[in-house]
Amino acid sequence: MLFMNEFILPLSFTLDLLFGDPGWVSHPVQWIGKLAQTTEERLRTTNLPLRLAGVLAVIIIVGGTAASAWLLITATSYMHRVAGLAVSIYLLYSSFAVRSLGDHAGAVQEALEAGEPELARQKVALMVGRDTATLDETGIALAATESVAENTVDGVTAPLFYALLFGPVGAITYKAINTLDSMFGHKNEQYREFGWASAKLDDIANYLPARLTVITIAVAAIIGKLRFFDIFKSVWKGARLHASPNSGYPESAFAGALGVTLGGPRSYDGEIHNAPELGVKPGQCSPLIVRQSIALMWMSAVLFLGAGMWIRHLLLS
């Protein structure tokens, strides 16, 4: 039970495709976020060095999430097998973001196609951390496409990877790691030391999923009649130029498949940052590219799940 009955992963994945985030109940990531906030506040009142305090925060939050999920599944399974299955399905379902990621990007695409750039800026601001007020239509489409590419790992294939290996406990533990990186993994004065452990653990957790995702993106590109060979050229050329040791892989793969250049200058809090340009074609992003990126993300997700289930079955049979 703690690992996984064969049917609950595809069922949970299908629930996400159909319904998106379970907004009618409290999301586990919200619980993780509240625990992280409380833990940070308590640890910052101690006299511990900030880097050590950050390490303790990771142990408390990631370890607490894993232990809580294990105990919850165990306790409900003792009550009734169906209750344990329901909790397992819910934890898995809430770990995926295929539908919500596609919906957010689709809202940007639809606003651009309707000739409503201001609405598109509002929608893309929900997806990215960069300044969006002055983005033109190409910049809006670029931001949405990059967000889909990067989050194909964080919100889709990485939680699938850990679900395949360790079941619901693995998936929700990964979400805790990813949430901590989102909250603490900033290279600024406030979090450079406290968030060091969170950022490093997220880098480690995403190392294999990011690289395996390139393979599923390539197969998805064949199915979608996109640029298969340019994917590997783009990854070889640009993946390691990215500031993140992992995000460059899916972003380069998407750039190659879609025939566009991702990266370039962008503004954060009024300060211009130049991200490395990824891709092997000089194409610009557009509403069509956003639409294609969503389809590529969906197909990559389905392929990753299918391949993972097949390999898991071979190993366990």
The predicted structure's pLDDT at residue 10: 94
Give the CA distances from residue 261 to residues 115, 123, 127, 253, 264, in Å, rounded to whole numbers and listed in that order.
23, 22, 19, 11, 8
Tens of pLDDT, residues 24-74: 667 888 999 999 999 999 999 998 999 999 999 999 999 999 999 999 999
- Coil vs helix vs strand at 276: strand
Listed residue (99, 103, 107, 127) closest to 22, CA to CA: 99
Percent of the chain with pLDDT over 90: 85
Is 291 part of any domain? yes
Q: Is residue 1 part of a domain?
A: no
Residue 216's closest CA among 308, 279, 97, 278?
308
* Mean pLDDT, range 10-30, rounded to an integer: 86
Asked if the structure places residue 89 within a domain, the reply is yes
Residue 56 lies in a domain: yes
- The answer to whether residue 3 is domain-embedded is no
- H helix count then E strand count, the chain: 12, 2
Asked, for residue 2, whether it belongs to a domain, the answer is no
pLDDT in tens, 206-219: 999 999 999 999 99
- Number of structural domains in the chain: 1
Residue 2's pLDDT band (boundaries 50, 70, 90)? very low
> For residue 15, which phi and psi values (nearest 5 degrees)?
-60, -40
Range of the domain at 299: 8-316
pLDDT tens digits for range 269-292: 888 989 999 999 999 999 999 999
Give domain status of residue 114, yes or no. Answer: yes
Over range 111-118, report the average pLDDT: 96
d(CA 241, CA 262): 12
- Does any domain span residue 269? yes
pLDDT value of position 108? 97
pLDDT digits (tens, 9 = 90+) for 299-308: 999 999 999 9
Cα–Cα distance, 151 to 264 (Å, whole number): 19
Element (H, E) at 263: strand 262-268
